[in-house]
Structure 1
Amino acid sequence: MSKILTMSGIAKRFGPVQALGGVDFDLDRGEIHALLGINGAGKSTLIKILSGVYVKDEGTITIDGEAVELGTPRAAIEAGVATVQQHPELVPDCTGVENIFLGGEGASPGLFRRMNRAAMREKAQKLLVRFPIEIDLDARVGEMPAVDREIVAILHALRHDHIKILILDEPTSTLTEREKASLFQMMRALQAGGISIIYITHRLEEVYEIADRFTVFRGGRNVATMTLGEARLTGVSIPELMLDEAAGDLYPARDGRSDGDVLLEAKGLGCGAHFSGVDLVARRGEILGIFGLVGSGVDELSKVLYGAMRHDVGELVVKGETRNFRGAHDGLAAGIFLVPGDRRTEGLTMTKDVVFNTTVAHLGRASWVGGLLRMRANRQASERLARDVGLQPFELDRPVSAFSGGNQQKIVIAKGLFRDADIYIFAEPTVGVDIGARAKLYALMRELSQRAAVIVVSSDCDEVHGLADRVLALYKGRPVHPGGAEPTRDQLLAAGIMGARAA
């Protein structure tokens, strides 16, 4: 198979930090190639060089047999490279068609330009003929499911006919299993249409499902490139390649405690059409796991327990006192902290630095009596917590928007630890977090559970089953007990995706 892309001897340095040390990477024509590595391994730097965000210090790039210089995003697009970021910036009030052609609406030049909607719709239909996928592009993006928004972002990237290489950065991080299947269908249609795809993911099971080859970066170097068949034949472990060590146990050992103080209890809890009839108990000294797919009500349940949403049925008891929270401030005052699933809009102030984001949830601790910030103490606390969560790079003055998604999640968790709460609710805690950082965060949650009640709410069945002492599943808004004192992973999965106990 011929090469559509060859990157040779690519080097990039940021001050004293060597982000890439002369790496090689190639992409076959019509291939889906997974690019893997823990946060800070260098894969994001390589992709930013390819997409024109960074300028390489050394090396050569050849696209379709021609040497190219990709100094700007425009130059990358002109060379046939398009990128869909992990969180595509779309306009919710505009339709799919309008979002696809943002910045190129087909209007004729002049002072009083108008959108040529007919031309836009015609071009959109041509895209759907080229890459067959079922989607209503006349719907407003804000009303679309997550997978359709991802497809709109992809079509926006491919609106230029000459695009040959598509980079997808963590496209499945917010998708359900069914939506993921729809996205993979779209990727195979792109592949069949002649598009070569570089696929970045931390979900290693997806590599075996969709990729033709994979490359692992570690420490700014390419440590392996092979097909999935070669990996199976030789017994290669992708996690061990990423970590340069035996992967070991991802989840920390349970200590068997079940007699800690009850800190939070729900009795017949319900919230409109989102969920109903939820009974749960969270104790100090253990981790309670709640498994449910996106749309099952788990996100709303986490917000009700915290106070960001109000329940309309049932009773919520916090440290022995029945509570009716009026908002998140009441939850915080009661000693509850929520690490939200949507870190960008609910967990972080993206334009502010790490110290600000770490300390903002507890201004009483972060300030002197007169309201002035305790600058030195806040920085020292932020440094300690950043080390605890494994923040990379360790640059506390950077705005959090400059960090990868996985590192942004670590900052949200550091923010929760600064709050020093009695009850922690982690919603989708490891979305976009690599396997090495996951093990560290899981160990941190286990340690935290020794002094606080910890609730982990996740659409990752393996995460809930591997981490929690007790588990509950939500299916279409109703609780389903998987069965048995210690249900198997298959029992928990059956409860969450089918609403019934496994046979």
Structure 2
Amino acid sequence: MAAPILTASGVSKRFGPVQALQNVAFHVAPGEVHALLGINGAGKSTFIKILSGIIQKDGGQITVGGEEVHFRTPEDAIRAGIATVQQHPELVPDMTGLDNIFLGRESARRGLFSRIDQRGLERRAKALLSRFPVALDLTLEVGRMSAVEREAVAILQAIAGENTRVLILDEPTSTLTDIEREDLFALMGLLKAQGIAIIYITHQLEEVFAIADSFSIFRNGTCVARMTVDEAKAGRVSLADLMLGEAIGDIFPPRAATAPGDAVLEVGALCLQGDFDGISLTARKGEVLGIFGLVGSGCDELAKAIFGVTPPDSGTLRLRGQVVRLTSPRAALDAGVFLVPGDRRTEGLVLSRAALFNVPLANLRRAAAGRWSLRRRRMQGDARALTGDVALHPPSLTTPASGFSGGNQQKIVLAKGLYSQADVYIFVEPTVGVDIGARAKIYALMRQLSRDAAVIVISSDCDEVHGVADRTLALHKGRQVEPVSGVFSRDALLMAGIMGEVAQ
């Protein structure tokens, strides 16, 4: 393999009492896809932010192309040839793909009154697509694009400069379907062929063997392992065990050993025009109900209809046998229904506020304890206990939610759900961006909650639904698909969600 284009040695970073990175060594070569792995809080995000110029290292050395570099701003990193696509790319949905790619670089001249050269932008886009030919209509507004098309725009935006030598992709497949994932891998292949080094962060461990040449594993702020994918295959290395430092075993807890209890939530012939039609289901205490469906199946819309975000056009909801009309999330929370949304950043958290603010939001009556004002000391004690239950890392109640990794943001949402003390918990895509160790803890939490509440898990990950649920059904293009025999096998559930058919 060629000499490394980027190296790091002895890189360290501390945040107050927390040693986030300690003497990290790392390197990646031109045209190499290198997976960066580790559980949430292992130091991956801190390391990537240092490489991207977002934060500065405390010590150590970084070289690009054999020359030592010091990044004080993201612009410094870009000038050195390091481009980053964050887990949630910041694109302007009302602007076209073309305008997003060259946003801030519309003119060769700088200044307040510099003119946008539209024809020049089109020529530059044509040249860019000649290097990386992807099927992408850049005249389309980003808000109307699919998830993989938006990811492609973000990547083209990142590499639009002439000197990009290293591309960092942070959880790029977290919202993609299997087919869209393959499209992204094809684009990564084009980048690799052009000699661009790719640092690939993912929690989907099967992707490492599908796309990467090599990988590094971070644990507790240090790089504890580095090897090629071929070496890992030959040695039958368990990536999960390396990440955790111990054998993990089966990440799914045992299913309920006893028969489920009384019905808590009953959904009858629920309809929402254009999204789903005639959905009927029962969620019982003592079991986990799983619903599998791909993007566009109506799963997310169903969850939001039950939670009162978008009230259905027709149908009934019963809670503990009583008909209810949940016309808002506030009404749902008051009735004892809690939703862990699929998009935690925009629907689950106030990112600018700390965990101490976010956790009690769903149950302010509990936070006030019958008084006219919030009881801060009690609220703080409860929040500390609940964030401990979900293993928030670092265990800070005062850090803004935006300062945590995606997986730890999800843990704050889960703590918020525990604080709500609900009778019905609906989890939508509960483990997106969550490492395998934290996933096991989340599944165990679901099982624990199901002892006293009804739990519904809605996901586009068939293995997740089948692994964690006692009973399953599928949604396909807004239509409910149930097993003939009462229980879906894993393959039959997958077929039901993809094709809308029940295997005979």
TM-score by length of 1: 0.97
- Equivalent residue number for residue 314 of structure 1: 315
User: What is the CA–CA distance in structure 2 between the aligned matches of 1:250 and 1:107, rounded to whole Å?
Assistant: 53
- Stretches of 4+ aligned residues off by more than 4 angstroms: none
Structure 1 residues 62-101: aligned runs within 5 Å = 62-101=63-102
Shift of 1:33: 0.7
Secondary structure of 2:5's match? strand
Give the deviation of 1:453 after TM superposition. 0.2
1:361, distance to aligned residue in structure 2 (A): 1.3
- Alignment partner, residue 476 of structure 1: 477
Residue in 2 that maps onto 1:220: 221
Residue identity opposite 1:241 in structure 2: L
Q: Give the CA deviation at 1:368.
A: 5.4
When structure 1 is superposed on structure 2, of 1-10 and 77-86 the one drifting more is: 1-10
Deviation at 1:17, TM superposition (A): 2.1
Quote the residue 1:18 is aligned against: 19
Q: How does 1:108-119 map to 2 (within 5 A)?
A: 108-119=109-120
Give the deviation of 1:243 after TM superposition: 0.6
Give the corresponding residue for 1:432.
433
Q: In the alignment, what sits opposite 1:389?
A: 390
Letter in 1 for 2:334: A
Partner of 1:229: 230
AA of the residue aligned to 1:499: G
Q: Return the letter of the residue paired with 2:219.
A: R
Answer whether contact 2:473 2:488 (CA < 8 A) is retained.
Answer: no
Q: Superposition pairs for residues 48-197 of structure 1, below 5 Å?
A: 48-106=49-107, 108-197=109-198
Distance in 1 (alpha carbons) for counterparts of 2:47 and 2:218:
10
Letter in 2 for 1:19: A
RMSD of aligned residue pairs (Cα, Å): 1.4
| C-alpha distance after superposition, 1:424-473 (max 9, x if no partner) | 00001111111111111111111110000000001111111110010011
Which residues in structure 2 correspond to 1:227-266 (within 5 Å)?
227-266=228-267
CA distance in 2 between partners of 1:54 and 1:484 (Å): 56
- CA deviation string 1:26-78 (max 9, x = no partner): 11210111100001111112111111122222222221222222232111111
**1:444 counterpart residue number:** 445
- How far is the alpha carbon of 1:275 from its aligned partner? 1.1
Determine the structure 1 residue equivalent to 2:211: 210
Deviation at 1:175, TM superposition (A): 1.2
SS across alignment from 1:225: strand
Distance 1:425 1:7 in 2: 43
Partner of 1:281: 282
| CA deviation after TM superposition for structure 1 residue 123, in Å | 0.9
| Residue 351 of structure 1: aligned partner | 352
- Describe the SS at the equivalent of 2:409: helix
Distance of 2:110 and 2:171 partners within structure 1: 37
Give the partner amino acid of 1:388.
D
TM-superposition CA deviations, 1:244-283 (whole Å, max 9, x none): 1111120111123333110111222221111112121100
User: In the aligned structure 2, how far is the partner of 1:368 from the partner of 1:466?
Assistant: 38
Give the Cα–Cα distance (whole angstroms) in 1 for the partners of residues 217 and 484 of structure 2.
40
CA displacement at 1:370 relative to structure 2: 5.3
Q: Which amino acid aligns with 1:445?
A: M
Cα deviation per residue 1:374-424 (whole Å; 9 max; x = unaligned)? 110111110011011110001110110111111111111111110101000
Structure 1 residue aligned with 2:373 = 372
Total equivalences in the alignment: 503
1:12 Cα deviation (Å)? 1.8
Name the CA shift for 1:303/1:24 in 2 (closer, same or farther; >3 Å): same
Letter in 2 for 1:358: V
Query: What amino acid does structure 1 have at the position aligned with 2:417?
Result: G
The residue aligned with 1:494 is 495
1:223 partner SS: strand
- Secondary structure at the aligned position of 1:151 is classed as helix
- C-alpha deviation, 1:114, in angstroms: 3.2
Q: CA deviation at 1:311?
A: 1.4
The answer to whether the 8 Å contact 2:271/2:313 transfers is: yes
Instruction: Point out where structure 1 has 5 or more consecutive residues left out of the alignment.
Output: none
**Higher alpha-carbon deviation: 493-502 or 441-450:** 493-502
Q: Distance in 2 between matches of 1:272 and 1:307?
A: 15
Q: Which runs of 5+ in 2 are unaligned?
A: none
| Structure 2 length-normalised TM | 0.97
Instruction: Specify the SS of the correspondent of 1:362.
Output: helix
Q: By how many angstroms is 1:369 displaced?
A: 4.7
Does the 8 Å contact 1:482/1:500 carry over to 2? no
Distance 1:147 1:79 in 2: 27
Q: Which has the larger displacement, 136-145 or 284-293? A: 136-145
Q: Equivalent pairs: percent with the same residue?
A: 57
Contact 2:345 2:351 in 1 (8 A): yes
